[in-house]
Copies of this chain bind each other. A is one copy, B any other.
Amino acid sequence: MVDLLDALRAALPAEAVLTDPDLLSGHSRDEADLCAAGLPAVVVRPRTTEQVAAVVKIAAEHRVPLVPQGARTGLAGAANAVDGAVVLSTVAMDRILEVDPVNRIAVLQPGVVNAALAAEVAKHGLRYPPDPGSWESSMIGGNVATNAGGMCCVKYGVTTEYVFGLEVVLASGEVLRTGRRTAKGVAGYDLTRLFVGSEGTLGVITEITVGLRPAAGESLTLVALFPSTAAAGDAVAAISAQGLSPSLLELLDQTHLIALEAYQPMGLRTEAKALLLAASDTGSQAAADLERIAALCEEAGADEVYAATDSIEAAQLLQARRLAHPAMEKYAAEMFPQGNGGLIIDDVAVPRSALAALLDGVEKIAAENGVAIGVVGHAGDGNMHPNIVVDRADPASVADSQRAFDDIVELALALGGTCTGEHGVGLLKRRWLAREIGPVSLRVQQAIKAALDPEGLLNPGKVL
């Protein structure tokens, strides 16, 4: 058998086969913490479906694991390499193949950056709603592979709602087409949604047909400050119970407010225990919607509620929410000597009615484990990201953080929630997945994996 590298070099252009040691180690992991990662034997950057199929076949012939990677912005280790693997990077598959405004669809390669798609479809008065935090760098292929969420999902749903069809290279190297270009269609099993969120374990996505929506109208935005995180949680439950559908409903806790003010002073009131950011994009009804949301926040105990005076202030508030993560990372880094502080990012979702209980519980977990935890997230979906501050240089701190992380997931499950609202399972939540879904579901998922990838070479060790 020809050597793996020779075979890849024969099948791909020279610049598509990378073996430089720095590049290899640079492709060993995504942005997840606490996850193992290996060193790939080679990184390939195909441009076409045919090249992807060739790579998958070569890896199969050599019985070498194949790990698909997009922008490596994932937070669960799903894109981490295993030792000796072929890493298939989709960065060079970055073409938007079609935008069809009448049928409101776009067809694209997986390496298209989310923000690039947003910009392109905006030219046609259209919008691709899913907006993960990483949207300026993450790629649609990775968004699809992880079924990414984001801030607009509270009203517009997550990635899977927008995937009409896929082209996938299977473990066999065969090219599968799923789904449709029509608004509706029920021909056969919904393979599209099976691949969405499968984190590279069932095939390599090489083309995506997404549904688009008309661009949203301008939205109105308000901020509410609360004397406790639980009061903010109560406000979210009340907003939902009253039948309101805000286009944004985000929470930042005091730790994040302090981190944000330190990172980029905006005059946020850091003595508040929690901030809710809400928006409505219902046009002429938005002002009335926000008035009702404001009243419900006050009833839930908000100290202060104020509306953004104009779209500039609204954009600033949204930007503050988007900066919460880098601000918190800087805050954590500076909490320990030599900048060794870091964040362990958790991701759980609970029924909205349990949001207050989750937030209360996270406070207790922080105290019990002697760690600082800042909470931020998509309150309207019950999807929270508790960020645990850790001193990476101190094994005791790492152990405390890991314990707090597990306690949070345990609590979310006890509240009827899930171990991952939007980041995915990858390596980080594998153990928890088995616990959440139970042995019957695990066996069914394993049977599907075995049916599609009998040799187990596609992204081995992830999810299941």
Contact = CB atoms under 8 A, between A and B. Distances in A.
B170 A444 contact: yes
Contacts of A423: 186
A102 B240 CA distance: 6
B186 A424 contact: yes
A104 B154 CA distance: 13
A337 interface: no
A112 to B, nearest CB: 21
Contact of A451 (B126, B243, B448): B448
A174 interface: yes
A377 to B, nearest CB: 10
- Copies of this subunit: 2
A177 B51 CA distance: 39
B190 A160 contact: yes
A121 to B, nearest CB: 11
A228 B102 CA distance: 20
B182 A417 contact: yes
A452 interface: yes
Interface in A416-464: 416-425, 429, 432-433, 436-438, 440-441, 444-445, 447-448, 450-452, 463-464
A240 B436 CA distance: 42
A243 B185 contact: no
A241 B102 contact: yes
B425 A188 contact: yes
A245 B186 contact: no
Contact of A186 (B146, B188, B432): B146
A9 B416 CA distance: 37
Contacts of A349: 180, 182-185
A418 B182 contact: yes
B125 A243 contact: yes
Contacts of A262: none
Interface string A370-412: 0000000010111100000000000000000000000000000
A198 to B, nearest CB: 6
Contacts of A445: 188-189, 191
Contacts of A295: none
9 contacts: A100-B353, A104-B240, A125-B243, A146-B186, A157-B161, A184-B418, A189-B194, A191-B441, A214-B245
Interface of A: 100-105, 125-126, 146-147, 149, 153-154, 157-158, 160-161, 170, 174-178, 180-191, 193-194, 196-198, 202, 213-215, 237, 240-241, 243-245, 282-285, 349-353, 378, 380-383, 416-425, 429, 432-433, 436-438, 440-441, 444-445, 447-448, 450-452, 463-464
